[in-house]
Structure 1
């Protein structure tokens, strides 16, 4: 077994750290699973947004739906006091700990997009079928 003390080599250490950090920045890429301009795929791909989304921030909406924006209390005055009105906005009031928040829950219709370009497939020519004879009345055997 040799003792070469490569762990104390500053050049090798910097190279190793740059490799690890580059992998980490690739893993922590914020645009990896999020499109800045979301769209609705039409053909040939599963996943993505195939429905309308809300105009507000989706993370804030999911946080509110989980109940993380509310205090855990049994007091009826503080429970569900920011239920959305007819205007489609959830208003979370500001208090000493949390900042106020307005979540717009109106629908945002996504524009269509296509990830894979499919060529149109022509239909085969129609067939000329002879006319069928009219149905004859069946006689009742009873």
Structure 2
């Protein structure tokens, strides 16, 4: 069976799978980076880690938007017959909640640094 880029009614394509795991790894990395940056004693290192955290937050927001667009533009595989009625009804609600959470987290971080009295500019990956 050839590798599928797009989803079909029986399985997710490799693009959706790659986005899923890339976003999962980025969220875990952001959590770890957030814990580390709050425990570093050097202010300079902490500042650099905060800038890196913000940069990955912007990247994560873009990836989540791309993932949602991909989900809206592709078929969603059907659930297996063994999945019960309760799970069939709640699965779409849980997916919606997870996407909302994935959007809310980087947006809330962006909002938080935007209203900070410190007025430290965000320079994603030192590019712009």
Query: Is the shorter-chain TM-score for this pair beyond 0.5, marking a shared fold?
Result: no
Choose between structure 1 and 2: higher strand proportion. Answer: 1
**More helix, by proportion:** 2
TM-score bracket, normalised by the shorter chain, equals: under 0.3
